[in-house]
Chains A and B, each alone.
Chain A
Amino acid sequence: MASSKLADRLASISPTKRDALSFYLFIAPWMLGFLAFTLGPIVASLGLSFTQYDMMLPPKYVGLQQYQRLFADPLFYTSLSNTLYIVALAVPTSMLSSFLIALLLNQKVRGMAAYRTAYYIPSIVPAVASAALWMYLLQPQWGVVNGLLRSVGLPAPGWLAARAWAKPAIVLVMVWGSGGTMIIYLAGLQDIPEALYEAAEIDGAGRWGKLRHVTLPLMTPTIFFTLVMSIIGTFQVFAVIFVLTDGMGGPVNSTLVYLIYIYRNAFVFFKMGYTSAMAWVLFVIILALTLIQFRTAPLWVYYEAERRPTR
């Protein structure tokens, strides 16, 4: 009875309105999640950053004090500069190596699928397992990596035990797991129409000319995408370093990255106001960097005339 009434009422609604209704019903689960776990918390963390809050006593409004304390905190600068160092080293290294591998793989070499698998698999190894593995490989006295270096007469650094080498060691582990970027580049390379290379050849382009004038321009949208995403991701590196240094960011804070410092303030000291200010500062830094990249993109990112830039 009730259901037929409902059906009658539904039938009387115009098709466009019915569509709008079903659209909102379909996206409702995501929308609820977005409001509850994304938008709400973003706003709340901005609010919390103006308070002092330890989760025991109610939050106390302190104005800009948390930000003032943050900008006077030497460890804030340490963690920020460590993070920037890792971003500056890991992002270009993994992008460049991924691109070179993808170029090599795109030459229709035999065993392409096997190579692709070999390069990709480390990127799906869980961060904790990969940290445990590299802890073993980078062991200074008898580790495999130093064994290899010594056998070819190179100096064997202390890696995770040495202040100067701990960050490069982390970057090494991150580059090891960057196979996903390579897969993206390879797919991008395979999307480039063969006809363009043939046209370039007719115009007298050699291998370098084809790379410079066909491959690179057509790959810039893909390179742009990976650049944006890997900068955002690398700024938030956490698990690998947390496990490698037992949560300390050592030796002597040399791998204390931003997220480890956030973790310590939030879940060891329960300084929720302070940590919210930290999170917002990082958010603003990442947002600014992303906007700069989008603004400067027209200078170097090439879009084919008929292909509309969707994002």
Chain B
Amino acid sequence: MTAATYRRPQLTKIARRLVAHLFLLVGASFFIFPLVFLVSTSLKASRQIAKFPPELIPNPWIWRNFSDVFIYAPMHLYFVNTLRIVIPSLVGATITSSLAAYAFARIKAPGGDVIFVILLSTMMLPGVVTLIPTYIIFSKIGWVGTFRPLVIPTLAGSPFFIFLLRQFFMTIPMDLEDAALIDGCGRFRIWLSIMMPLAMPALATVSVFAFMGAWNDYMGPLIYLANRMQYTLSLGLQVFVSNHGAEWGMLMAASTMMVLPVIALFFFAQKSFIQGITMTGIKG
């Protein structure tokens, strides 16, 4: 009797765990299998792709899809173009965002709170209202067809990054800064030599999201880039989809090439990703 009542919770606990795992596995397969098929199809011959029912394991294994992609689309060029947008955006957005974030976190100024509320409300602003006039301005000053419309606006920093970095700066103790202020250190020096080194994890998070934003951006390049030689990966891939939609092996190979760097970055900077999402999502 006593033994039974003692053991029962144990058993239900194990059963509950098993049920949880069962559900989690079924769910996880919905999220992961598409990506497994992406990679496996990129290694299949077209004969096997059109087979029904679909087969998961390539037979035979084929690498040709990857080299074929380059015959139809200069992926390496798209890659370089993407980097030419991604890198300045990432560096610029991180620096300017952290400047503003430091000011919002630490410096008192008349109107500061109001400006911060404005900043927060722009996080909820639908980007579509600014689309048309921005395009008209860039077109009138001759920037359409260059990378400038894709880079320059990002250099101003983003409210999302500023908010995230501000939350981080708020957690840094005041002591160091107070000492520096007494020593006559200017605000810029404090930002550069005290706050920035301490904020490295948060800066990494911001860089990761700036990278992702620029890497994944589709509408920007679609609107602003005209010349095939300027295409970014996402635009190049889309044109590839419309022109070679039926050549699935090659299409999956091209997609794999675009997805892999992002997934590699995730495994490399997992903490930054999770922190970036949770910091803005929770502490809001």
Give the complex CA separation of A23 and B274 in angstroms: 30
A104 x B24 contact (CB < 8 A): yes
Q: Given A22-B188, A27-B100, A187-B282: A262 and B34 within 8 A (CB)?
A: no
A275 x B124 contact (CB < 8 A): no
Q: Does A42 touch B at the CB level, under 8 Å?
A: yes
Q: Which residues of A contact B278 (CB under 8 A)?
A: 183-184, 187
B99 x A235 contact (CB < 8 A): no
Give the complex CA separation of A3 and B16 in angstroms: 72
Q: Does B6 touch A at the CB level, under 8 Å?
A: no
Q: Given A101-B27, A222-B282, A272-B132: A126 and B52 within 8 A (CB)?
A: no
Give the complex CA separation of A128 and B278 in angstroms: 26
Residue with the highest number of chain B CB atoms closer than 10 Å, among A27, A135, A151, A290:
A27
Give the complex CA separation of A132 and B102 in angstroms: 41
B216 x A133 contact (CB < 8 A): no
Residue with the highest number of chain A CB atoms closer than 10 Å, among B102, B156, B241:
B156
Give the complex CA separation of A119 and B274 in angstroms: 12
Q: Given A19-B109, A34-B156, A137-B37: A187 and B28 within 8 A (CB)?
A: no
Interface string of B248-284 (1 = CB under 8 A from A): 1001101100110011001000100110011001111
Q: Which residues of A contact B30 (CB under 8 A)?
A: 176
Q: Does A225 touch B at the CB level, under 8 Å?
A: yes
B156 x A136 contact (CB < 8 A): no
B155 x A29 contact (CB < 8 A): yes
Interface size of B as a range = 35 or more
Q: Given A121-B263, A188-B282: A132 and B251 within 8 A (CB)?
A: yes
Q: Which residues of B contact A44 (CB under 8 A)?
A: 133, 136
Give the complex CA separation of A276 and B120 in angstroms: 24
Give the complex CA separation of A151 and B52 in angstroms: 11
Q: Does B197 touch A at the CB level, under 8 Å?
A: no
Surface stretch bound by B, among A70-78, A139-147, A197-205, A297-305: A139-147
B31 x A30 contact (CB < 8 A): no
Q: Which residues of B contact A191 (CB under 8 A)?
A: 282
Q: Given A30-B119, A42-B130, A279-B129: A122 and B31 within 8 A (CB)?
A: yes
Residues 250-303 of A contacting B (Cβ, < 8 Å): 259, 262-263, 266-267, 272, 275-276, 279-280, 282-283, 286, 290
Q: Does A41 touch B at the CB level, under 8 Å?
A: yes
Q: Which residues of A contact B20 (CB under 8 A)?
A: 104, 107, 109
Question: Count of A residues near B, CB < 8 Å?
Answer: 97
A109 x B21 contact (CB < 8 A): yes
B131 x A109 contact (CB < 8 A): no
Residues 177-236 of B contacting A (Cβ, < 8 Å): 186-188, 191, 212, 215-216, 218-219, 222-223, 233-235
A128 x B274 contact (CB < 8 A): no
A19 x B54 contact (CB < 8 A): no
B237 x A37 contact (CB < 8 A): no
From B28, B118, B212, B274, contact of A115 by CB (8 A): B28
Q: Which residues of A contact B274 (CB under 8 A)?
A: 116, 183, 187
A133 x B219 contact (CB < 8 A): no
Q: Given A135-B241, A191-B282: A125 and B129 within 8 A (CB)?
A: no
B252 x A133 contact (CB < 8 A): yes
Give the complex CA separation of A131 and B52 in angstroms: 22
Known: A132-B252, A187-B282. 17 other contacts (CB 8 A): A27-B115, A29-B157, A30-B97, A34-B156, A38-B122, A48-B136, A105-B24, A109-B21, A121-B35, A122-B34, A124-B266, A133-B34, A133-B35, A133-B38, A133-B255, A147-B54, A238-B218
The 7 closest A-B pairs by CB, nearest first: A33-B156, A184-B281, A23-B109, A26-B103, A187-B278, A44-B133, A41-B130
A-binding residues in B (CB < 8 A): 16-17, 20-21, 23-24, 27-28, 30-35, 37-38, 41, 50-54, 96-97, 99-100, 102-104, 107-110, 112, 115, 118-120, 122, 124-137, 139, 153, 155-157, 162, 186-188, 191, 212, 215-216, 218-219, 222-223, 233-235, 237-238, 241-242, 245, 248, 251-252, 254-255, 258-259, 262-263, 266, 270, 273-274, 277-278, 281-284
Between-chain CB contacts (< 8 Å), 15 pairs: A22-B188, A26-B99, A30-B100, A45-B133, A107-B20, A127-B218, A128-B218, A128-B255, A129-B237, A147-B53, A176-B34, A226-B281, A272-B132, A283-B129, A311-B120
